[in-house]
Chains A and B, each alone.
Chain A
């Protein structure tokens, strides 16, 4: 995946920036998800009767996502499991969502503004580690 040095030198493209890749090949060049804004910790859950084999246009990565989400898994973990960039996973999830194969559960207001009971549970959970 590592390309030769790109034509005109881009100021971002040095060793710090990581390998130069074309990860959006998998998405057919699409860079926007059908549903923008899947949070990194939005949980994805396959629909109970999801059967990706009925959708021959889907990639193996789509099917893998459906397999992985038989239990709720956050977007960031899916990206790590598939070793794909988060942006790519968001596009693939948008495809699955459009076909009714997964549901995406965005963080609830409780996650953004947890109340005292939740904060206390976190502190005692951390102490118990």
Chain B
């Protein structure tokens, strides 16, 4: 398709580089809160439509008999400079929407997995997903109530994390704290890039 352009040359406005970072974690772990705290714009919501009718047909003839449903995805934007933007995508929380993750994860720079220590097991599926697909990730332990102190080593053991996966305490409501988590992720990605890239 000639009209789909991949180059950045030519006249007209320059096309920025957009990096995707996923914000994952169990339901209620603070994904939307973190996206809100970091986004320079009111967090945007978009929806993906689930429809069984898309499989094997281009046409929804008889549409009245079929139902579609939507899944909301939060996303936010951070402009680094004129040529570089970071998009944050909060992943759908329910396990049954995993198939949407594949689209989100494609080409993503990496992911933040938010863990809620009251329900640590809720973030296991996210960790499994990113491990299996080789998407770099960090785990942010969201300290909602400030009063409780968590031993990071205990959390790391409970999550069975690889030693090189960064684990950081954070407060998803605080922009400063959220920034630190993103920086930890980007630095983790950079460290991984320093190593030999496994064959695709």
**A76-B46 CB under 8 A given contacts A29-B63, A40-B20, A41-B87:** yes
Decide: A31 and B190 in contact? CB cutoff 8 A.
no
Instruction: Chain A residues near B190: list those with CB within 8 A.
Output: 116, 119-120, 123
**Hey, which chain A residues are within 8 Å of B72, CB to CB?**
18
Give B43-62 as 1s and 0s: 1 = Cβ < 8 Å from A's Cβ atoms: 01111111101100111110
A122 pairs with B186, CB closer than 8 A: yes
Dominant SS at the A interface?
Answer: mixed
Q: Interface size of B by Cβ–Cβ distance < 8 Å?
A: 63
Q: Is the CB of A118 within 8 A of B17?
A: yes
Cross-chain pairs A/B with CB under 8 angstroms, 18 sampled: A10-B67, A18-B72, A19-B70, A20-B67, A21-B69, A30-B58, A35-B1, A35-B4, A39-B106, A41-B107, A45-B13, A80-B45, A80-B46, A85-B47, A103-B4, A116-B193, A119-B190, A122-B80
Beyond A41-B107, A80-B46, A111-B19, 17 additional pairs, beta carbon < 8 A? A16-B94, A18-B69, A23-B49, A29-B63, A31-B57, A71-B13, A74-B87, A79-B47, A80-B44, A84-B47, A85-B49, A106-B4, A111-B20, A122-B84, A122-B186, A123-B186, A129-B179
Report, nearest first, the 9 A-B pairs whose CB atoms are least far apart: A125-B80, A80-B44, A29-B60, A41-B18, A79-B46, A85-B49, A31-B54, A17-B69, A112-B107
